[in-house]
Structure 1
Amino acid sequence: MKFTRVFAFMALAGLAGSAYATNGYFSHGYGMKAKGMGGASTAMSDDAFGGANNPASMAFVGNRLDLGADLFSPRRKASRTGLGPFDGSVDSDSKYFLIPEFGYNHMYSPDMALGVTVYGNGGMNTHYEGGQIAAGSCGATAGNLLCGSGRLGVNLTQLIVAPTMAYKIAPNHSIGVSPLIGYQRFKAEGLQAFTQNNISSDPANLTNRGFDNSYGYGVRIGYMGKITPTVSIGAAFASKMKFGEFDKYKGLFAEQGGFDIPENYNLGVAWQATPVFLVALDYQRINYSGVNSINNRSTNMAQLGADNGPGFGWQDIDIWKLGVEYKYSQQLTLRAGYNHGDNPIEARDVTFNILAPGTVKDHATLGFTYTTASGNELTMSYMHAFKNDVTGTSILPAFMGGSPAGTEKIEMYQNSLGIQYSWKM
């Protein structure tokens, strides 16, 4: 009964909103232990977040329940110069998000684990107040930075439930699989300018339509091996999660409202250098190119909503995650990490990415775990993503029949503070 209630709470809380935009729109890590180590987790087996990291790790986790939440604070800004009355500068008012996580694992036998991980993705959560562009430029009243009326922004929430099975194929080697069951919702506001001049294939379903929902599926598979008493390795692959279309926004996203989660894979190694000091290194690849609505260039000469219609122009990215762990005492373990990822946004696509300025590349993290007398754990983590910006030529005039002109800049930095409590059973 306790498990059922906690799971229901996590599912409902997850729908409240997620705003991760650290490695593209993926989180830098899943589970507070991984987050304290820059996200390095592929060769680690410390908690029940294998469904988000490496399903094979659950075979070594034991019986446990992990419940956590992150207070995530992204700071986004967009500006334009060189276009006279179309110039402006505005900060996103969406600055704080509470993002829950949940993991449960049960050793069905000494060699088989059954569990579930619940986690979220996001990153396209912006809210810019209107009135940034002078009246008369976009219409009778002052417009927003993309020449629409009222506030400008998008809100994307993705919740993923990952039931997990892991099996030890040998005493120190395991494989695992997690079917991925996804729910997402989306809304856009303030894009009225793109409903004009035959820009969209379906202008009635492009902006200010409220939330729309869709469901999707995929799979994550993994391997983990303890190749020596001090060295572990891991690998995991997640297929593209195929979702139903956002019908209310089929005039905005390519493929008539398509918005899938891209395939990704990760490799990792962990070295227990001394009895109290561990180093972990992960490599991750996210293939945004497999999702047209994310990868298509914003300069594509096609209508919004078409198969080859303009998108956000996000490129595939490589990510490196380095973490260290120091066992200060029997009760206290300290962590630190660094995460470096490519910026998926190129200068040519700055205009569209005013809506989703996922520009950060470098993250520093800290964390600790305190083990209570009962054996349960309290874990906290902190992350700072350093400010980064992208500057490019505005394509806003092109959508009004002119040529690209003026300069736009999008920028972001982030902080997050998370807490997790874990019950060992």
Structure 2
Amino acid sequence: MKTKTILAASLTPVLFLCSQPSHANVGTHLVGYGAKAQSMGGASVALPQDAIAAANNPAGMAWVGNRFDADVQMLYATSDTDFGSSSNQHDSSIFLAIPEFGVNFQVTPKVTFGVSTYASGVGFRYEDPLVPVPGFRRTRGTLKQFEVLPTATYTFDNGLSLGLSLVYAVQEFEAQGLPGGFPGGQNPYHGKEYSHGTSWRAGALWKINDQWAIGASYAPKIEMSKLSGYKDDLLSQWGGSADSPEQYAVGASYKLSDRWTMALDLQYIDWDEAKAFAQGFGWRSQTVVKAGAAYEINDDWTVRGGVSHARLHTTENHAAENAILGGLNTTAVTTGVTRRLTQNSELNLTFEYDFGPKVNGKGPSEGFDTESDFYTVTVGYGWKF
């Protein structure tokens, strides 16, 4: 009965997310998934710390034991945009709550089974039309994606763990007030539309000794179904869907002492092959470097810090397409703390600040400038059972 109850709880974000928009850090992705990974700049491929680990590396679930984790990332984003000229300025601010859950079971000393969930996406909300033309709607939109990852792992005698996740993804898309070549000068509004897709993820994690661990993970592109309504106009040039890009990562962790642990990840996200993003917004593939450290003060307190830096996923020539999105940040600085409540439970708190250069449009995007800031507070609870 306990197993069924915990598993059911891990799936409840599917319902919760339907009313919650999300915002992006690295394209449509966040720095890291799980409060502990996030507080270390997302460095987690070789350092799993909770039951949300499959979102970073499926093999990580082999090393977290029997546990349940639930986090909420609360995001506040602001942006200042010149849309076409300095006389057409717009400010946007948006507050969002993003849930993530995970549960893991140590079936045998070598086998685990669990479920990790996480959300990603982009969102924007302006209180007035971007184009000062009578009859234009306020400009708002969201692309939200939620993924459920049932995950199994196997650990060999030499400390090498292999993990495999099945992936089920659900998207919700909505956009209004976007300029376009349609009657009235703006794209038709179709309300909220949904799509879905399936895929897989794989990962490896090798605990070389008590100090060193290395890991790798791979996720192929998720081909999403078409979004009704929008597939015939706004998304028609790019196949009517918004596929999730292929990505892979490698990482290493090193335990300097009983109290200090360091981690480093290198991630690649292939936006070039995701048509809706590459052709629609001029997004380009990214390389992301993530580094973090954790210090165990005593048995009850652990503090963490980290940084993530990515190549900007667009260029100044595509500032016009990206001006409405904001969130064009390249660097994130994170910190966090874990407070042990009982022998089997803990509370996690993380703060993240994202920043980047002001993007000034050039060429066909002359007059489109945007600058944004991004703040996140994550609260999480972990329970070992």
| TM-score between the two structures when normalised by the length of structure 1 | 0.85
Q: Distance in 1 between matches of 2:179 and 2:368?
A: 20
Q: Paired residues, what number?
A: 380
1:174 aligns with 2:155: no
- The corresponding residue for 1:152 is 139
Cα pair distance change 1:97/1:392, threshold 3 Å: same
Q: In the TM superposition, what is the alpha-carbon distance from 1:393 to its structure 2 partner?
A: 3.8
Q: Distance in 1 between matches of 2:7 and 2:84?
A: 54
- The corresponding residue for 2:331 is 362
Cα pair distance change 1:388/1:18, threshold 3 Å: farther
Deviation readout 1:119-174 (Å, 9 max, x if unpaired): 00112x1111225655xxx4xx2x7xxxxx02012211110000000100234110
- The corresponding residue for 1:113 is 112
Q: In the TM superposition, what is the alpha-carbon distance from 1:52 to its structure 2 partner?
A: 0.4
**Gapped regions of structure 1 (runs ≥ 5):** 144-148, 297-310, 396-403
Which letter maps to 1:119? Y
Cα pair distance change 1:176/1:81, threshold 3 Å: closer
Deviation readout 1:71-109 (Å, 9 max, x if unpaired): 1111122114658xxx4111124x110110101000111
3-state SS, counterpart of residue 351 of structure 1:
helix
Q: Distance in 2 between matches of 1:160 and 1:151?
A: 30
3-state SS, counterpart of residue 411 of structure 1:
strand
Q: In the TM superposition, what is the alpha-carbon distance from 1:421 to its structure 2 partner?
A: 0.6
User: In angstroms, what is the RMSD of aligned CA positions?
Assistant: 1.9
3-state SS, counterpart of residue 240 of structure 1:
coil
Aligned pairs (5 A) from 1:3-82: 3-80=6-83, 82=85
- The corresponding residue for 1:317 is 286
- The corresponding residue for 1:161 is 148
Which letter maps to 2:267? Q
Quick check: which has more Rg, 1 or 2?
Answer: 1
**Gapped regions of structure 2 (runs ≥ 5):** none
1:422 aligns with 2:365: no
CA contact (8 A) 1:264 1:286 kept: yes
Aligned pairs (5 A) from 1:140-289: 141=134, 149-196=136-183, 206-250=187-231, 251-253=233-235, 254-289=237-272
3-state SS, counterpart of residue 62 of structure 2:
helix
Q: Distance in 2 between matches of 1:269 and 1:56?
A: 14
Q: Distance in 2 between matches of 1:7 and 1:76?
A: 33
Q: Distance in 2 between matches of 1:193 and 1:21?
A: 24
Segment of structure 1 superposing worse, 149-158 or 348-357: 348-357
CA contact (8 A) 2:24 2:30 kept: yes
Deviation readout 1:247-276 (Å, 9 max, x if unpaired): 211211233312100010111000001111
Which letter maps to 1:411? E
Q: Distance in 2 between matches of 1:96 and 1:394?
A: 33
Q: Distance in 2 between matches of 1:160 and 1:209?
A: 24
Deviation readout 1:159-211 (Å, 9 max, x if unpaired): 000000010023411000011100001011012543159x9xxx9xx431101
3-state SS, counterpart of residue 343 of structure 1:
coil
3-state SS, counterpart of residue 12 of structure 2:
helix
Segment of structure 1 superposing worse, 382-391 or 270-279: 382-391
Q: In the TM superposition, what is the alpha-carbon distance from 1:9 to its structure 2 partner?
A: 2.7
